[in-house]
Structure 1
């Protein structure tokens, strides 16, 4: 998958994961679809960006004698995720165009000139 496309999907997947429940880094990596290749070294800078943008909140709590950070989607993050989902139809139109054009299918209103 293209790196730029992957970045947008990773952000949306992390927000969706945290929408379901509060979670921590290692668990987020396990929850996100494997095809995206999310690693902890990719995740933590992404979490910092999402936190700086106000899309997630963070709290620290002790777990087995160690401090663990837990992340949760904020209202702003929920809005961001909803916007991402609303773009699905537009993205599918682009995919449809690419697929049709690659297969030589002419769309209505287009000519073969």
Structure 2
């Protein structure tokens, strides 16, 4: 894809995936990779930042003799996701208008 992924858009994608279900980092990376090329080394700092900002919480579950860290969206994360969705809709509509050749404001 030719378009760059900003930090806010990546956060929005992470929060949207976690709104559906709790999951662990590897699965999050794979789900995001289905639409955007991203490495685990890019994702984990985002997860830590969202956790520090109380948008995510974590818990561990045993899996094949080891613990797997799961991420879960918090009420604060749900609020942020809603803001991201509103911002995305506004941004997308403006870009669609420009790309389709429309004009938002005409000079007279």
Pair in the same fold by TM > 0.5: yes
Q: Is the 8 A contact 1:22 1:72 kept in 2?
A: yes
Q: Which residue of 2 aligns with 1:83?
A: 83
| TM-score in terms of structure 1 length | 0.80
Which range moved further: 17-26 or 83-92? Answer: 83-92
Q: Distance in 2 between the 1:107 and 1:80 partners?
A: 28
Q: Distance in 1 between the 2:91 and 2:9 partners?
A: 12
Aligned alpha-carbon RMSD (Å)? 2.0
Q: Using CA pairs below 8 Å that are at least 6 residues apart, which structure has the higher relative contact order?
A: 2
Q: Which residue of 1 aligns with 2:44?
A: 44
* Superposition map of 1:1-113 within 5 A: 1-4=3-6, 7-96=7-96, 98-99=98-99, 107-111=104-108
Q: Is the 8 A contact 1:10 1:38 kept in 2?
A: no
TM-superposition CA deviations, 1:15-43 (whole Å, max 9, x none): 01111011001111111253421221111
Q: Is the 8 A contact 1:59 1:69 kept in 2?
A: yes
Q: Distance in 2 between the 1:17 and 1:87 partners?
A: 18
Q: Is the 8 A contact 2:97 2:103 kept in 1?
A: no
Q: 1:70 to 1:106 in 2, by over 3 A?
A: closer
Q: 1:90 to 1:107 in 2, by over 3 A?
A: closer
| TM-score in terms of structure 2 length | 0.83
TM-superposition CA deviations, 1:85-107 (whole Å, max 9, x none): 1123420343145436xx5x655
Gaps of 5+ in 2: none
